[in-house]
Amino acid sequence: MEYLLILGLALAALYAWGIGSNDMANIIATPIGGGAIKKKYAILIYIIFLVLGALLQGYMVIKTLGKGVVRQLDLTGAVAASLAAITWVYLASLLGLPISTTLSATSGVIGVGLAYVFKNNDWSYLNLGVINNIIISWISSPILSMITAMWMYILLKSFSARGVNA
């Protein structure tokens, strides 16, 4: 069992690397590409807020994935979910596919929960209410972000046009 813990810690480090290589590029590409900020400052800001987010809100993600999705996630399940997420994140990154590392990790945990269900023929291993809320957020988040960005652009364009004419 100790080897699984060591493997899990190694996978956590690999996953952190994958998150940094994938998500960081997604976050800082727009402001750098748009000329709003220099690369070194974007990286510094990203790192600061990444650490703050992990320290201040990371426990909520741990709570949801650790006990919320699958009622009793064991060490083998955690390692399997991590390995699945890491495999997908690295493969998608190599192929240049736009992905969510959070969605990959969550899907890995749900996949392990499904394995528990099929192995034991018992749906009580999964918390379907939590999974339902996660899936709703997966659908609503990009839609709401697009709508918000559209209105922000319209408002900013309107304010900048007034500033030029004033």
Q: Are 132 and 121 in the same domain?
A: no
N-to-C CA span, the chain: 70
Q: What is the mean pLDDT of residues 17-28?
A: 76
Q: What is the mean pLDDT of residues 56-78?
A: 81
Q: What per-residue confidence (pLDDT) applies to 145?
A: 95
Q: What is the band of 143 on the pLDDT scale with cuts at 50, 70, 90? A: very high
DSSP one-letter code for 96: T
SS3 70: strand
Q: Which helix (H) or strand (E) holds 139?
A: helix 128-165
Q: Are 7 and 84 in the same domain?
A: yes
Q: What per-residue confidence (pLDDT) applies to 148?
A: 97
Q: Are 99 and 48 in the same domain?
A: yes
Give me the number of domains the chain comprises.
Answer: 2
Q: Are 135 and 54 in the same domain?
A: no
Q: What per-residue confidence (pLDDT) applies to 114?
A: 95
Give the CA dihedral 30, 33, 36, 40, nearest 10 degrees: 90
What's the rounded Cα separation, in Å, for the pair 102 and 110?
12
Evaluate whether 93 touches 22 at the Cβ level (below 8 Å). yes
**What residue numbers bound the domain in which 41 lies?**
2-126
What's the rounded Cα separation, in Å, for the pair 88 and 69?
20
